[in-house]
Amino acid sequence: MCRMTEKQGWSADRIPDLRERVYVVTGAGGGLGRATARALARRGGHVVLAVRDEEKGRRTAAEITAGQPDARLEVRRLDLADLDSVRAFADRLCADHARLDVLVNNAGVMAPPRTLSAQGHELQFACNHLGHFALTGLLLGRLTAGHEPRVVTVTSVNHRNRNAYLRFDDLDGARGYAPMGFYNQSKFANAVFGWELHRRLTAAGSPVRSVLAHPGYTATGLQTNGTVGLWRLVFGWIGNPLLAQRPEQGALPQLYAATEPGVAGGEFIGPGGPGELRGAPVRVRLAGAAADPETGRRLWELSERLTGVRYAVPAAD
């Protein structure tokens, strides 16, 4: 289990000048997304805050501009659990921007009661994976036109858990639903998608780089907003104040993945501390199962069928 340890002292102060670059950050209304958007705007990036709650997004934008009056921000509504909303968001964004430089697939939900999306998919799989899969595919043309373009997909250290696998015969949890088990499934899907996207983009000779990141254990609303039962108590009310790092620290791996010039496609960035729960960003290990080509092909084909979004990149050999 080898980990590369260069740049362990990396911080947001090392983000280069981002003027003339356009970033899209999902879930930018709070937590990791807000911290990511703030750091990008501070270095001159034009940031699109993709948020489900527009009022919350406007408050976030106001907070950022209060400390950075020249920040270039857009607040746009995006409900990743609703594929119609994803398409509407992508259509409007593409109409207004000839190019995009970086997409940060950050938003997510964690361990809610079993809920189905507008299209009938289990909520965590719909929001955390399918929505981002569709969004990335719909924006890929604009990203291809960008400057050193990247897609950063945020997964979790949980993608390595024993119950983190794709339940292809019960994706919606109808036969048996466990809140954290299905959260781990969605985070495993993020990891599989990020790696498979890297394989396909590389095979196609695309300039777009697919990079993975995870935030370790970070105190956000993810653990308390919608999480049920024991999980809310353990992760939210007990774990957050005692063990978790602040969103500004937890966002560093995805900021590194989105901005560091030397990052290559297929790299996975996470915290360098014990258990990858906290610490400065380093290159970390992707679970072997997440890089399995057959799993990647199967998830990709399923995701295209469920979302109706087909990518203009072929399958890698």
> Mind listing the pLDDT tens digit of every residue in the chain (317 residues)?
334 434 448 999 999 999 999 999 999 999 999 999 999 999 999 999 999 999 999 999 999 999 999 999 999 999 999 999 999 999 999 999 999 999 999 999 999 999 999 999 999 999 999 999 999 999 999 999 999 999 999 999 999 999 999 999 999 999 999 999 999 999 999 999 999 999 999 999 999 999 999 999 988 666 455 555 554 455 554 545 556 899 999 999 999 999 999 999 999 999 999 999 999 999 999 999 999 999 999 999 999 999 999 998 878 77
Within a domain: residue 98?
yes
> Domain count of the chain?
1
Q: What pLDDT, on the 0 to 100 scale, is given for residue 222?
A: 60
Q: What pLDDT, on the 0 to 100 scale, is given for residue 9?
A: 87
Provide the terminal-to-terminal Cα distance of the chain, rounded to the nearest Å. 27
Within a domain: residue 1?
no
* Domain range for 296: 15-305
Within a domain: residue 311?
no
Q: What are phi and psi of 73, to 5 degrees?
A: -130, 150
> Could you say which of 23, 183, 217, 311 is catalytic?
183
- Rounded to the nearest 10 degrees, the angle between the axes of helix 54-67 and helix 31-42 is 40
Q: Count the neighbouring beta carbons within 10 Å of the beta carbon of residue 40.
A: 30
Question: Cα–Cα distances in Å, from 88 out to 80, 85, 123, 303?
Answer: 11, 5, 19, 19
DSSP assignment letter at 308:
-
Within a domain: residue 111?
yes
Q: What pLDDT, on the 0 to 100 scale, is given for residue 316?
A: 75
For CA atoms 254, 50, 140, 207, the dihedral sign is negative
Within a domain: residue 276?
yes
Within a domain: residue 315?
no
Within a domain: residue 312?
no
Within a domain: residue 313?
no
Q: What pLDDT, on the 0 to 100 scale, is given for residue 164?
A: 97
Q: What pLDDT, on the 0 to 100 scale, is given for residue 128?
A: 98
Q: What pLDDT, on the 0 to 100 scale, is given for residue 6?
A: 41
Active site residue 183: yes
Six-digit token pair at 138? 């719909």
Q: What pLDDT, on the 0 to 100 scale, is given for residue 165?
A: 98
CATH classification at residue 121: 3.40.50.720
139 Cβ contact partners less than 8 Å away, ≥ 6 residues apart: 24, 90, 93, 94, 100, 103
Task: Give the predicted TM-score (pTM) of the model.
Answer: 0.92
